[in-house]
Structure 1
Amino acid sequence: MNNIVRKKGWYLLIVSLVALLLIIHPDITKVEAKAVETKAESAIIVDVNTGKILYAKNENEALPPASMTKMMTEYIVLEKINQGEIDWNTTTQISDYAYSISANDSFSGVGLRQNVDYTVKELYEAMAINSDNATTIALAELIAGSEGEFVKLMNQKAEEMKLPDSKFVNSTGLDNESLDGNHPEGTKADDTNLLSARSAALLAYYLVNDYPEVLDISSIPETNFDDQTIKNWNWMLPHDATYLKQYYYEGVDGLKTGHTDLAGYTFTSTAVQKDRRLITVVMKTASEDERFKETAKLLDYGFNQFDVTELFKAGYQVQDEPSVPVTKGKEETVDIALKEDISIPIEKGKEENYHIEYKLDESVFNENGELVAPIKKGDKVGTAELVFDDGAEFGYILDGENKISVDLVTTSDVDKKNWFSLMLGAIGQFFVNLYDNFMGLF
């Protein structure tokens, strides 16, 4: 009996303490977002479904990307396949230059042979899975005739994509100074490729959206090439090796690692969980171990600390601005509202830190700021812009967009007054103006 009383006493004490804490700190039940920090010199997280940047650190700093450069080569190869200029079964042989790169132990080549027909599929897999440099050059030469001409295509595509802070000088990501004077024509011996974390993420964004088949190959942990096994340098895939299992991350299916002495260890990852796909980039990390651990940290933050939230429903109206004036109509005003929902990934605990601002389109209003009847339901009168109240937003990956907006539309028809009503109104306005002018004389 005493034990029961004692347990009941402890229970009442705990309940009382919790109740007291809630009274003293009423915000204790709020979800607090956990900030993320990374050892990478620059980094970024992008939500692929919306293009929203969830986190960024030094994201506009142009740095050597090493083999992440190959993402652009992959894009152009896939583009040429989709345009019908080549196909997976197209064959090519290995040039003297590509052969010399493959034979160089410092470049860890797959040991290409000359006078052998290799298919585009074989070369692409060695490039995308094993990050092989010589097979990358062979593909560049197949498509453009020379690596120098291929580099021109790379920079043209970068301009089309509006990749900020980017420069391509070869197809592989090697530093030109390591090529013993064999750098592509039109580039300098001391040139190196440059990408910012933002431009690497944007390139990856185009790659997975335009050619999702890229993931079918980038997700392969190992495969056979020319009677040998080649392994993927992305340790976050499900490898068999015991020492790599610590790096496995659920949902990772790409995209490209990189390493040179100048670049350090780089990695552009992509992963999908519960219909949400993220892209992360880390640049200038200190080791293979660090680049994967920092990537896991970014992925955890993106998946666990953000929820796709419907902030404002279609039909939402700003309370102080529910309508706009109308002239020549049977109604003097017409209500305006959001045409569509606004749903974006929101950091937990910050759902209340957003509001809407109207940006009316002056071209659809007269000089007095009125809409002229007749008006149809759904007529666009401007946009509604989402504004974050709690500091800077990282914006969106496409075209430097920093804010999201939806159309602002009328919610009902407003018919035009008949001719008699308009005439009476004009006569009335005439006498009002006449009276105002007369009184102005005194």
Structure 2
Amino acid sequence: MSKIKKLLVSLLAFLMLATVAPLSGVQAASANETSISNYKSSDLSLNVKSALAIDASTGQVLYAKNANKALPIASMTKLITVYLTLQAIKQGKISWSTKVKPTSQIVKVANNSEYSNVPLYSGHSYTVKQLYEATLIESANGAAMMLAKAISGNQVTFVKKMRALVKKWGITDAEIYNVNGLPNSYLGTDAYPGAAKNAENHLSAKDMAIIGMHLIDDYPEVLNTTKIAKKTFVDGSTKTQMTNFNWMLKGLSSYDSRYPVDGLKTGTTDAAGACFIGTVKKNGGRIITVVMGAQHKSASDASRFKQTDKLLTWIYANYKSVNLTANSKLMTVKVPYGEDTTANVGVKQTTTLWDPVDGKSLSASLTRKTVNAPLTKGKTVTTANFKSGSTKLISLNSPNGMKVKVASLQNDNEVNFFVKIWRTIFGK
């Protein structure tokens, strides 16, 4: 009798552990992490200091050149300013119709013809919507500073919000001194205190791609503005024609009908050269590209767009999109203590993978092949890794192998205690 009791106690202890811990653990990451900094850089020569191309949803890395190197980002900075603006609107702190008056220093910046701008005047009021559009379309430096004023009251407080935001996203190498990307000395009394006169905002191509991912994912409506080629800024009787510095938009000089570019932001300073973070939705997926430090010999130099076009041409020639639909079966998992001992699983949300055109088959494997009941339809139960032949697809967050969330496609209740004992001893 005592032996039976001991057996039952042992079985009970085993079952308690089984319900708490996964029956099959996640595979450990390799100690020799694959670097994304120069992924396939030898396959394509770009005349830029750094570059990166990723899938906008998964972060799958398609190409990288010096992607981890922090460089001046110039007006690409304004995407962080715009993110915080959209966040403040969503939180109800400001609205599109909120009116703001410029300080004397902002007026000086806004009316300096050396900078990209729309003119702003002392005593005039401007809506957040006007300033937001001017920031994205005309890359107006004064307008970006006005958005910071509307949200935080002053430039320094807003810069601290910018720093906190990117840190939250895992960006640890950021140097941010202002809201528009100009050299610090250009901002007069609004220059960041304690920073060098020539200090500029620095981030890497990888950092910029992360910012672009968050912006598009959290506020996809931003694309409705970044795709505008031309618009008039109206200030009473004064009208200023704004032309987007993203010349790859339809109707502008670097437009390529093969690639429907609809964002995001350019940036130019002497130190940064010509920079551009772009995005294209094609073949079921959205790609984000970043080029930094392209040639900029004159205001008419289109080098950054030519390099982006070259990068896109290479991507679409060397990858084919594979669209996985949510709620479609991908594989099955074992559920030892479920009413059904197996369950169908699929990607949690519709996902685009970019399969290298290399003649090798794309395959998937689950990090956990055995899961615990109960299962709820739609709930994440494991992740999937993908390979082209023996080569793993990698992403910004998972350079050892991109992980895609996998959800149960069915409900599966947990069996009772006695059935668990029976299955443990005799199997199903």
- How far did residue 392 of structure 1 move? 6.6
Question: How many residues in Structure 1 have an aligned counterpart in Structure 2?
Answer: 367
Structure 1 pair 248/63, CA: closer, same or farther in 2 (3 Å)?
farther
Cα 1:401–1:131 change in 2 (3 A) is farther
1:162–1:399 contact (8 Å) kept in structure 2: no
The answer for the alignment partner of 2:395 in structure 1 is: 396
Contact kept in structure 2, 1:197 and 1:282, CA below 8 Å: yes
Structure 2 distance, partners of 1:219, 1:408, is 34
Question: Structure 1 residues 157 and 350 mapped into 2: Cα distance closer, same or farther (>3 Å)?
Answer: farther
Alpha-carbon distance in 1 for matches of 2:398, 2:193: 31
Give the corresponding residue for 1:345: 354
The answer to whether the Cα contact below 8 Å between 1:202 and 1:398 also exists between their aligned partners in 2 is no
Amino acid at match of 2:346: E
1:236 aligns with 2:236: no
Q: Distance in 2 between matches of 1:337 and 1:387?
A: 23
Instruction: Within 5 Å, give how 1:252-331 maps onto structure 2.
Output: 252-287=261-296, 288-309=301-322, 314=329, 316=331
Tell me the residue number matched to 2:22. Answer: none
CA contact (8 A) 2:364 2:386 kept: yes
- Secondary structure of 2:52 counterpart: strand
Q: Is the 8 A contact 2:392 2:400 kept in 1?
A: no
Residue 137 of structure 1: how far off its partner (Å): 0.9
Letter in 2 for 1:260: T
Which 5+ residue runs of structure 1 have no aligned equivalent? 1-33, 365-373, 427-442
> Which residue matches 1:386?
386
Q: Name the amino acid aligned to 1:215.
A: L
Q: Which residue of the partner structure matches residue 9 of structure 1?
A: none
- The answer as to whether partners of 2:260 and 2:280 remain within 8 angstroms in 1 is yes
Which letter maps to 1:291? R
- Aligned residue number for residue 26 of structure 1: none
Report the 3-state secondary structure (helix = DSSP H, G, I; strand = E; otherwise coil) of the residue aligned with 1:60: coil
Distance 1:323 1:269, change over 3 A: closer
Whole-angstrom CA distance in 2 between matches of 1:377 and 1:245: 50
1:37 aligns with 2:45: yes
Alignment of 1:23-422 (within 5 A): 35-180=43-188, 182-185=190-193, 187-225=195-233, 226=235, 227-239=239-251, 244=253, 250-287=259-296, 288-309=301-322, 314=329, 316=331, 339-340=345-346, 344-352=353-361, 354=363, 356=365, 358-359=367-368, 384-387=384-387, 390=390, 393=393, 395-398=394-397, 402-405=401-404
Matched to 2:146, the amino acid is A
Alpha-carbon offset, residue 348 of structure 1: 1.3
- Residue 49 of structure 1 deviates from its aligned partner by 3.8
8 Å contact from structure 1 (residues 323, 336) kept in 2: yes
User: Does structure 2 retain, via aligned residues, the 8 Å contact 1:249–1:296?
Assistant: no
Contact 1:222 1:230 in 2 (8 A): yes
> How many Å apart are 1:92 and its aligned residue?
1.0
**Is residue 353–residue 390 contact of structure 1 (8 Å, CA) maintained in 2?**
no
- Deviations for 1:344-387, whole angstroms, at most 9, x for unmatched residues? 221112542646365567x97xxxxxxxxx99899998655434
Gap change, CA 1:415 and 1:184, over 3 Å in 2: closer
Answer whether contact 2:52 2:289 (CA < 8 A) is retained: yes
Local SS of the residue matching 1:403: coil
State the 1:340 CA deviation: 1.8
Whole-angstrom distance in 2 between the partners of 1:62 and 1:348: 31
- TM, length-normalised to structure 1: 0.71
The structure-2 alpha-carbon separation of the partners of 1:120 and 1:186, relative to structure 1 and needing over 3 Å to count, comes to farther
Q: Please report how far the alpha carbon of residue 134 of structure 1 lies from its aligned counterpart in structure 2 after TM superposition.
A: 1.0
Q: CA deviation at 1:160?
A: 1.9
Secondary structure at the aligned position of 1:104 is classed as: coil
1:171 CA displacement: 0.1
Q: Residues 390 and 220 (structure 1 numbering): CA distance in 2 closer, same or farther, change over 3 Å? A: same
* CA 1:261–1:335: 2 relative to 1, 3 Å: same
Give the partner amino acid of 1:232. Answer: N
1:166 Cα deviation after fit = 2.0
| Change over 3 Å in CA distance of 1:172–1:336 after alignment to 2 | same
Structure with the largest fraction of helix: 1
Contact 1:357 1:387 in 2 (8 A): no
Q: Please give the per-residue CA displacement for 1:150-186, whole angstroms capped at 9, x wherever unaligned.
A: 1011011112222353221100001113445641346
CA contact (8 A) 1:253 1:271 kept: yes
Provide the rounded CA distance (Å) in 2 between the counterparts of 1:380 and 1:275. Answer: 23
Q: Which SS does the other structure have where 2:305 is aligned?
A: helix
Distance 1:353 1:273, change over 3 A: closer
- Distance (Å, rounded) in 2 between the aligned partners of 1:47 and 1:106: 36
Alignment root-mean-square deviation, CA: 3.8
- The letter for the 1-side match of 2:110 is S
Give the aligned residue type for 2:293.
Answer: K
Give, in whole Å, the separation in 2 of the partners of 1:150 and 1:384: 39
Q: Retained in 2: the 8 A contact 1:236–1:249?
A: no
Q: Which amino acid aligns with 1:271?
A: V
Change (3 A) 1:345 1:89: same
